[in-house]
Amino acid sequence: MSLVCSSPKFEVSNDQTSYFNMMPGSYMATPASDKPHSPGYFDIKSKPSPSQTPYYDVTKPASPAQTPFFDCESMQTPFFEQLQQMHGIRHTNTNNENSNNNQQQFQQFQFNLNIKNGINGNPGITISQLPFTPKIPSIQRRSSTKPSSLPSTNKGKPYSMPGLSPYNSATTTFEEYSLDNVANLINQKLSNSSTPNLVLLLDLRSFSMYTANHIKTSLNICVPSTLLKRCSFSADKITDTLVSDGDKDVFKDWPKYENIILYDSETDTLSETCPLFHLCKKFRSPVCKAKIGYLKGGFTAFHKKYEGLCEKTLNDTPSSSGTFPRRRSLMNRKPGPFTCPTPIIEISGVNPFFTNIRQNIELSSGITETIPIRLPEGAVFDNSQIPAFMRDIIGDNGKMKLAESFHEIERIEQRRLQSLMLHNSNQVTPDCPFSISAGMEKGTKNRYNNIWPYDHARVKIGECKEGDCDYVNASFVQAEKCNKRYIATQGPLPATYEDFWKVIWEQNSRVIVMLTKEEEAGRIQCHRYWSECTINPCRFGPIVLQFISESSNGSMNKNNTIVTRKFRLSHTNHPEIPAREITQLHFLGWPDFGIPDSPNHILNLIDIANFTQSQAVQSSSHTVGPMVVHCSAGCGRTGAFCTIDSTLSLLNEIREQGLDVSQDLVQKVVLKFREQRLSMVQTLRQYVFCYEAVLWKLIGAA
């Protein structure tokens, strides 16, 4: 049997007993002119369209189980029976009552059968001797996928049919701006101040590349590609990623521009996997009538041809014209194991990484969750027991108020970090009073690459050996009008054991609160900075540490367990100073980024820590230093512990005066702590937990 179809056309050998069911797909098929009688072979050509489509060759036996355009599957029902059941046969029969209906059907499908041996048993049917030519509905275009059964020759690019050229043309088309076109637009904008909305140029390269050289009037958009792929990350949210207020004012009017042009280093063609493509899609909006496109060849090609239309922000050498000098790292210490060093900034004002400011990503979708305050089971209390600001958040709208309050805290810190990185990342200026230069230059002493101490609040080591520095990742934190002061620090690294014990000695601290397990989920949270002294006294430089005892209030597997360890600390350079007793309270029930099972557990820890601190004060003839609190990074759990303790202390002082408190003290304390150390109280869950612990203490549930 020979079967020929006009659209699509394919051939089946005469001895083929089954037939092929061809499903609609993206391309029309035409017979192969060079293989007119090849059994089981068919060729696919692209349907004429404005976009260029590749030519495909597919043999029938090699067809995979999942094909993107045509599903050809063998059917067990004979071909003629299927035709009779589905479409009917064109014939002449005077007794057929449905001849009119058949005529309407064959206006769409006209079948002409060429049967060599005829049909037996039905003399009333007359068969036309013309070739069989069915017509099927027009084939619709649909997206292509690469079959999983094929080897990957061009990774990351979809395929239209097996084993052939990649199909990577973008379904959404954008303008392609030549170098000359962009140069003309820039010249018009610079020469004519009456056309401010003529063109919006967006530079997608890194901040350091943009700072070194960029096209005039362009803005730097430094957003991770993972955010650009999110539908929820709209063009308006890009405004929050800009640092300069002037850039924000320019960008917020993006719907009013006539041309929006994006460029990177050297993109020549726009593909669906390119960050330029994802950002272009953000500007497709009913309110935006601009032409949206990309600069062909990118900045590299533009700079070669139009260097005069490019400008530099910073010079590589010091000058007196206002540029910041190059600075060298002061580090001589080798990085310790398991460290995440921060890249060293040699040119002031360069933003190291967009993702180093965690709020840039975490706040990109706005408020995504709300968490209500847990109340003690069966607790009955009077409103007079709690301050006014606590009453507001217990109600139905309380969880949204808490979410909005924490969101504002995060926004304030985000703007602060963006500002200090833009204006001055290694000097303190009146416009930007915060600096993190020490933490960034001495990155090998940091456990994480996005938690740095502010210079104005960081703890400095007094006695430094030759060639070393005074840096340690620790900060003094204290709430306003509160008499309690803490040292918030990261979990010590092997390379910083000596620094940690020097801080304990020099600050005359007697209590250490450890809020993390040594290891969680296969990841080291804090190294055992006391392990070597459990058998024999060990030395950390001039510091001698001797283990005394260890005890716990329960099983090591319980979440409310507190392990109490006592040490004796002395200094070889100061033998006249008696050895000091140091108490470490190791709480095991606080997971990373989480909270304890019950507020009672942390309230019990706070009571023990304060009692131990007061005992040390009474037994010492000298002023006892602040309590040292650390988790892994020294901000999330550490911040929550200090916030709960400080808020309760402030409330006790206020209630002794018989006053009510309408101002939210928890928010006030967290805001003050965030000015002294990054990310104090790091998550919304931890923030709500602070309110829970304060509430449980006030109503007597603890």
Catalytic residue numbers, as ranges: 631
Element (H, E) at 672: helix 665-674
Sorted by sequence, the CB contacts under 8 Å of residue 31 that are 6+ apart come out as 4, 9, 10, 11, 42, 43
3-state SS assignment for residue 638: helix
CA separation for the pair 592, 518 (Å, rounded): 11
CA separation for the pair 357, 379 (Å, rounded): 41
CB atoms within 10 A of CB 139: 19
Report the length, in residues, of the chain.
702
Please compute, for residue 111, the number of CA atoms within 13 A of its CA located in the half-sphere on the CB side: 20
Q: CA nearest 673: which of 694, 662, 687?
A: 687
CA separation for the pair 270, 250 (Å, rounded): 26
CA separation for the pair 305, 384 (Å, rounded): 75
Strands (E), 13-71: 19-22, 41-44, 56-59
Tokens coding 259: 């041309």
CA separation for the pair 5, 137 (Å, rounded): 12
Q: List residues bridging with 475 in a β-sheet.
A: 458, 488
3-state SS assignment for residue 5: coil
DSSP code string of 87-126? T------TT-TTHHHHHHHTTT-------SS---S-TT--
3-state SS assignment for residue 570: strand
Q: What angle do CA 522, 523, 524 make, to 5 degrees?
A: 125
Tokens coding 390: 């606590």
Give 268: exposed, middle or buried? Use CB within 10 Å, 0-12, 13-18, 19+. Answer: exposed
Which single residue is written with the structure tokens 């890194």?
Answer: 206
Q: CA nearest 524: which of 460, 449, 570, 592?
A: 592
DSSP code string of 168-211? ---SS--EEE-HHHHHHHHHHHHH-TT-TTSEEEEE-S-HHHHH
3-state SS assignment for residue 176: strand
Q: What angle do CA 416, 418, 421 make, to 5 degrees?
A: 105
Sorted by sequence, the CB contacts under 8 Å of residue 346 that are 6+ apart come out as 326, 327, 328
